[in-house]
Amino acid sequence: MKRHGSALHPVNYTLWYEYVRGENPALRAAMDRYLAQHLQLDDAIADAMYRRFVTGGGIDATLIERTAEGVSTVLTGMAESAARAGDQTAQYGTSLSRLSQELAGSAHSPALEEMLNTTRQMQVAVTEMQQRLSDSQNEIGQLRAELRRVHEESRLDSLTGLANRRAFDQRLAACLAEADTPARRYQRPCLMIADIDHFKRINDTYGHPYGDHVLRAVGTILKEVTPADCLAARIGGEEFAVLMPSSSLSEARSLAESVRLRVAAARVRRQGQDDDATRITISIGLTLFRHGENGTAFMERADQALYTSKDSGRDRVTVLAG
């Protein structure tokens, strides 16, 4: 990637990973043809090839995440190999240095002089190799850090900073699998689903930038009140969820009421309208996991409780017991 001027970002990682794997002959042929004529593969060309030969259209976040994991595994192996080579090179350099010192004190016959010069040259080569290995390890470390960042960002909602739907679905599946084990038999998770009231009217009246401002404000409140062992996520346009793996139903109800009251008390101001703040409310549905049900059924019951809150006048919490 570095040799061909490819920037280090998710689409390029995926493109080059597919190229190196060799399982996409159309992509490989297209890249070979292009690189034969142009040394550099800029972002515009890379993006076009990615869309044409890898996803057939849009950006596939799941593929990017899978690629990041694969490349990270490769980089881990490279880093370990570089570290081992560095240790071996250092040991060899020490031996050469000792030998050089011993030879320097000996009578300088032509054979010994030649050996001394060769040893000195080897010392220089070993030092250069150690520097290259060190540089490689640093570069691998930077790549791994970038991949970790990409992985984390692929699980976040870019607008609110909360977990996104894919991260929520993964955590929900893991949580329910654990909840059905004997060790968690008497500790059932709770699920809260919340929806901003009259959000379409807000967008239609004040515009989508203000709607985004409202979403961010609700996201901030959720981040502030959600306990560390719980997960708050934006799972739809104006819909949010909080998964509470270890909370009792009464604790979950208290959290839901806290969210509702915080949102109702907030005043979201429009840009340039300091004296004109809009009151926002939120409706919430809450339920307790039933052993043996899947994630879809669990969410449908939380949705049912949410619809009851909407039908009952909004700005309220409805609990549907398990």
Single pTM value for the model: 0.61
pLDDT of residue 105: 61
Active site residues: 238
pLDDT of residue 34: 85
Rounded to whole angstroms, how far apart are CA atoms 25 and 267? 56
pLDDT of residue 226: 96
- Provide the 3-class DSSP secondary structure of residue 194: strand
Per-residue pLDDT of the chain (322 residues; tens, 9 = 90+): 667 777 666 677 778 878 887 888 888 888 888 888 877 787 778 878 877 887 665 445 555 555 556 665 665 666 666 566 656 666 666 666 676 666 666 655 565 566 666 766 766 676 676 676 666 666 666 666 666 666 666 678 888 999 998 889 889 998 988 887 777 777 899 999 999 999 999 999 989 999 999 999 999 999 999 999 999 999 999 999 999 999 999 999 999 999 999 999 998 887 766 656 788 999 999 999 998 899 999 999 999 999 999 999 999 999 998 6
CA 113 from chain centre, in angstroms, equals 59
**Domain 165-320 is classified in which CATH homologous superfamily?**
Reverse transcriptase/Diguanylate cyclase domain (3.30.70.270)
DSSP state for residue 290 in the 8-state scheme: P
Direct distance between the N- and C-terminal alpha carbons of the chain, in angstroms, rounded to an integer: 53
> Domain spans of the chain?
10-59, 62-153, 165-320
Query: 209-220: buried (b, 16+ CB within 10 Å) or exposed (e) per residue?
Result: ebbebbbebbbe
pLDDT of residue 61: 55
